[in-house]
């Protein structure tokens, strides 16, 4: 064999070895475990269009809402301290639903008032479940401690309930010393009145009712009446209003009352003159309390905002009241500041007013 041929043979042998090592693999092995999911991409506009579309479904709620005191009111700007923020600010309210506390952990630095996100989970799952209500469970009252259930209206009652009354006069009990003219159930007792709870229940000619048809028959409480089929964007729906102004006249929005199985065909709230009756009793008690030096109406000069009436502390100094005196003022404040004039609970309002007037005679 020539030297040349020997070299050529060695070269071929090496090439064959290389090829057999690298190209001759066996059958494929089993697949490995799947890798981790990547991050979700940002939602495409199709997701947004579930809600942000060309109809006025969302817009109508927004326009109604812009006529509501939840939107127009200014109290959230000042009432953002820890004791106030859970009812007056959006941030404090949503925080309280997780902490289960009646006070906020800290004052809210950049508060917003009640808004869409207070009652709905806006932009959470990006589907229609975002319209679910943020709170639905029965509510334990801050004042009195009873638990009430108004269906979906529990959301409202979480805020629209009296604050604790301190000191609290007890029927037949000791006198109480009151040192702050803002003493009483605050301005938010609608839930307590609808439930028929929280009055200074002195005995008298009118028995205290066990039941309230507007609580028993109306499953979702506040919502059924205050969010009834809207009149334009001015009453009902997300305006939460029961009345609207038209040509300078206040018009009652009777959509919920006038339903066939309720007060069919009614055009006002004064069914059987009962609102008038409660208004007259309130005026009578108010005058009695003024005459006895118990009620301060000096901050309500034009008589238009009963929320500005308080117990009278001469010289704004602490004063001792008998249980009856303080209880009489408490009953007036409860029924007057509720401002439904018996619609929320006619029998309870009537019993509190009549029995108080009788006891003061």
Residue among 95, 108, 144, 163 that touches ligand HEC (CB under 6 A): 163
| Contacts for 90-97: CB closer than 8 Å, 24+ residues apart | 90/114, 90/115, 90/117, 90/118, 93/118, 93/158, 93/159, 94/118, 94/134, 97/134, 97/135
Specify the residue, 218 or 281, whose C-beta has the smaller distance to ligand HEC.
218
Residue among 344, 346, 350, 351 that touches ligand HEC (CB under 6 A): 344
Q: How far is the CB of 359 from ligand HEC (least distance, A)?
A: 27
Query: Helices 346-360 & 274-291, crossing angle to 10 degrees?
Result: 30
Q: What element of type H or E holds 310?
A: strand 310-311
Stretch that binds ligand HEC, among 29-37, 51-59, 204-212, 282-290 (CB under 6 A): 51-59
CA distance 190 to 195: 9
- How far from each other are the two terminal CA atoms of the chain, in whole angstroms? 142
> What is the number of residues in the chain?
361
Q: Note whether 161 binds ligand HEC by CB under 6 A.
A: yes
Q: Note whether 148 binds ligand HEC by CB under 6 A.
A: no
Q: How far is the CB of 31 from ligand HEC (least distance, A)?
A: 36
Residue among 52, 136, 211, 320 that touches ligand HEC (CB under 6 A): 52
Q: Note whether 347 binds ligand HEC by CB under 6 A.
A: no
Taking only Cα atoms into account, the Rg of the chain, rounded to an integer number of angstroms, comes to 34
Site residues (CB under 6 A) for ligand HEC, limited to 293-312: 305, 307-308
Residue among 139, 198, 212, 226 that touches ligand HEC (CB under 6 A): 226
Q: Note whether 183 binds ligand HEC by CB under 6 A.
A: no
Site residues (CB under 6 A) for ligand HEC, limited to 239-258: 240-243, 256
Query: What's 251's DSSP letter?
Result: E
Residue among 169, 199, 221, 230 that touches ligand HEC (CB under 6 A): 221
| Contacts for 263-266: CB closer than 8 Å, 24+ residues apart | none
Angle among Cα 71, 75, 78 to the nearest 5 degrees reads 135
Tokens of 104: 């906020």
Q: Note whether 350 binds ligand HEC by CB under 6 A.
A: no
Q: Note whether 13 binds ligand HEC by CB under 6 A.
A: no
Stretch that binds ligand HEC, among 5-13, 120-128, 286-294, 322-330 (CB under 6 A): 120-128
């Amino acid at each position: 064999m020539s030297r040349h041929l020997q070299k050529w043979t060695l070269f071929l042998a090496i090439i064959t070895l290389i090829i057999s090592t690298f190209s001759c693999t066996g059958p494929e092995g089993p697949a490995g475990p799947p890798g981790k999911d990547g991050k979700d991409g940002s939602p495409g506009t199709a997701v947004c269009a579930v809600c942000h579309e060309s109809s006025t479904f969302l817009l109508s709620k927004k326009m109604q809402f812009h006529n509501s005191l939840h939107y127009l009111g200014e109290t959230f700007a000042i009432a953002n301290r820890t004791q106030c923020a859970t009812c007056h600010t959006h941030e404090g309210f949503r925080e309280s639903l997780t902490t289960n506390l009646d006070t906020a952990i800290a004052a809210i630095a950049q508060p917003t008032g009640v808004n869409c996100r207070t009652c709905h989970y806006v932009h959470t799952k990006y589907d229609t479940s975002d319209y679910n209500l943020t709170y639905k469970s029965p509510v334990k009252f801050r004042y009195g401690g009873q638990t009430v259930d108004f269906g979906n209206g529990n959301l409202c009652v979480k805020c629209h309930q009296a604050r604790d009354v301190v000191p609290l006069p007890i029927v037949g009990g000791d006198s109480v010393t009151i040192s702050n003219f803002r003493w009483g159930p605050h301005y938010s007792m609608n839930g307590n009145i609808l439930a028929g709870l929280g009055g200074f229940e002195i005995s008298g000619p009118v028995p205290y009712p066990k039941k309230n048809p507007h609580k028993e028959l109306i499953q979702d409480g506040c919502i059924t009446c205050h969010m009834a089929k809207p009149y334009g964007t001015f009453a009902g729906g997300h305006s939460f209003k029961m009345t609207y102004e038209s040509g300078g006249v206040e018009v009652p929005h009777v959509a919920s009352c006038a339903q066939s199985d309720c007060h069919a065909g009614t055009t006002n709230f004064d069914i059987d003159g009962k609102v008038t009756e409660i208004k007259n009793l309130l005026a009578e008690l108010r005058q009695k309390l003024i005459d006895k030096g118990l009620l301060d109406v000096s901050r309500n000069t034009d008589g238009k905002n009963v929320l500005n009436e308080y117990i009278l502390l001469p010289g704004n100094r602490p004063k001792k009241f008998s249980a009856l005196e303080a209880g009489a003022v408490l009953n007036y404040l409860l029924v007057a500041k509720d401002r439904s004039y018996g619609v929320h609970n006619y029998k309870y309002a009537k019993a509190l007013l009549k029995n108080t007037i009788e006891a003061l005679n």
